[in-house]
Amino acid sequence: MFRARVLVSLKEGLLDPQGKAIEGALPALGWDNVARVGVGKYLRLEVDAESEEAARRQVQQMANRFLTNPVIEDYAILEVSRAADRPAGVPAAGGQQ
């Protein structure tokens, strides 16, 4: 079993209304030094595969065919690792899951 983490974001140059709303609200909270806010999706998956390479290939196929809209979104596979390396819910280095 392999755990995968995928980050999905809008392609550069596309209108991001959620990002703009957050960017507009931050100065009122005291953070006026933030720009170009983008909102995306973060996905965690467990894939039963024979190897890390096979799991990564399957995650790429899922991202291309179902998890993203390739016309307006880009994706990055942040990690593919054995699920036993880290119990579910335990953050990786940097505090992110």
pLDDT tens string 28-82:
999 999 999 999 999 999 999 999 999 999 999 999 999 999 999 999 999 999 9
Domain membership of residue 92 (yes or no) is no
Q: Give how many domains the chain has, as a whole number.
A: 1
Q: Which two tokens stand for residue 39?
A: 């909102």
Domain membership of residue 10 (yes or no) is yes
Structural domain boundaries, residue 37: 2-85
Domain membership of residue 94 (yes or no) is no
Tell me the CATH number at 23. Answer: 3.30.1280.10
State the Cα–Cα distance between residues 97 and 88, nearest whole angstrom: 9
Tell me the pTM: 0.78
Domain membership of residue 90 (yes or no) is no
Domain membership of residue 18 (yes or no) is yes
**SS3 assignment, position 30:** coil
